[in-house]
């Protein structure tokens, strides 16, 4: 494990981002979803490194082995953390891959900093372009996000026990595409995040509008989503994102849940590699 010191400070201490850096070749940065960390990418790291790429996965601030400051969970700050990682490692022609909440970091990074260092983008089960129902956007009602925060505040361990089942559509795929042990593993990853970060990020991914960021994509972009996603509904996310992102491709994985990086890892990895190699 390596650590990156970012420019953000809390009580005079630099925020440290934990990351893994494997392989050689064109760099790919994997940005994890909420409430997990970089270890969620286990099946993708193996496939991408074996295919000849340099693969960097990092823990968002507040999660995994990264620093857990009290603040800084807005997308502008999170995009700045990604920028610091790219600049510190002196990366060029980067392929950005964001899962769920991580798709927001990809969008806000491009919206704020452009694509001079980015070659391609991939959004997987992503929260883009805008998850909240408003007068001009039909998506998810604000009560859903309030319910999530209430559940986390009341009993975070139990909330994530239940959340993990919906994450993988466990009742449908248990014993076949997802084991009880992997469900426990996911719970352990979720519990490594700080409670404050976990709560604040619900507001960030639930209420941040990425529609203008999406319009600034000027690189090849792949959007992958499962049509059985119970966490980020495909109609509120991927199907809208493909209309906003210029020349984006949408690949729908049939019957796949939110956590398709595990349940449908072979299909996802094939889609990633086919797109990256174009």
Rounded Cα distance between 77 and 6, Å, is 10
Catalytic residue among 100, 125, 204, 271: 100
> Residue 96's closest CA among 123, 121, 128?
121
Annotation says 100 is catalytic: yes
Burial class (CB in 10 A: 0-12, 13-18, 19+), 266: exposed
- To the query of whether residue 258 is one of the catalytic residues in this protein, the response is yes
Q: For the chain, give the number of residues.
A: 278
Q: Edge-to-edge strands of the sheet including 13-22?
A: 2-10, 13-22, 54-58, 27-31, 94-99, 118-124, 221-226, 249-253
Residue 264 annotated among the catalytic residues of the structure: no
Residue with tokens 């129902």: 133
Reading the block at residue 250, the tokens are: 């949408």
List the catalytic residue out of 59, 229, 237, 264. 229
Catalytic annotation, pick one of 57, 81, 125, 258: 258
Q: What is the DSSP string of 68-95?
A: --SS--SHHHHHHHHHHHHHHTT--SEE
Q: What are phi and psi of 63, to 5 degrees?
A: -130, 160
d(CA 216, CA 194): 32
The backbone region for 59, taken as left when phi is positive above 0, alpha when psi lies in -120 to 50, beta otherwise, is beta
Residue 54: CA atoms inside 13 Å, Cβ hemisphere, count? Answer: 14
Give the residue numbers marked as catalytic: 100, 229, 258
């Amino acid at each position: 494990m390596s650590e990156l010191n970012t420019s953000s400070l809390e009580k005079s201490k630099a925020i440290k981002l934990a990351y893994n850096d494997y392989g050689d070749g064109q760099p790919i940065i994997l940005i994890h979803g909420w409430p997990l960390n970089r270890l969620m990418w286990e099946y993708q790291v193996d496939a991408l490194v074996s295919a000849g790429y340099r693969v960097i996965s990092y823990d968002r601030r507040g999660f995994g082995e990264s620093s857990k400051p009290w603040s800084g969970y807005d997308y502008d700050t999170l995009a700045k953390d990604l920028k610091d990682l790219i600049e510190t490692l002196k990366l060029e022609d980067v392929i950005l891959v964001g899962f769920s909440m991580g798709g927001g970091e990809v969008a806000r990074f491009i919206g704020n900093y452009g694509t001079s260092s980015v070659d391609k983008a991939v959004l997987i089960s992503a929260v883009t372009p805008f998850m909240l129902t408003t007068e001009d956007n039909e998506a998810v009602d604000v009560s859903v996000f309030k319910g999530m925060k209430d559940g986390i505040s009341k009993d975070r361990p139990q909330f994530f026990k239940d959340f993990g089942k919906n994450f993988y559509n466990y009742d449908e795929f248990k014993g076949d595409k997802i084991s009880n042990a992997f469900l426990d593993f996911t719970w352990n990853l979720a519990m490594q995040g700080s409670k404050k970060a976990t709560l604040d990020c619900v507001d960030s991914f639930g209420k941040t509008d990425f529609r203008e960021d999406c319009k600034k994509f000027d690189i090849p972009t792949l959007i992958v989503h499962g049509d059985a996603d119970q966490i980020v509904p495909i109609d509120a996310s991927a199907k809208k994102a493909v209309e906003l992102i210029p020349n984006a491709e949408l690949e729908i994985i049939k019957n796949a849940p939110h956590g398709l990086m595990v349940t449908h890892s072979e299909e996802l990895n094939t889609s990633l590699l086919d797109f990256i190699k174009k």
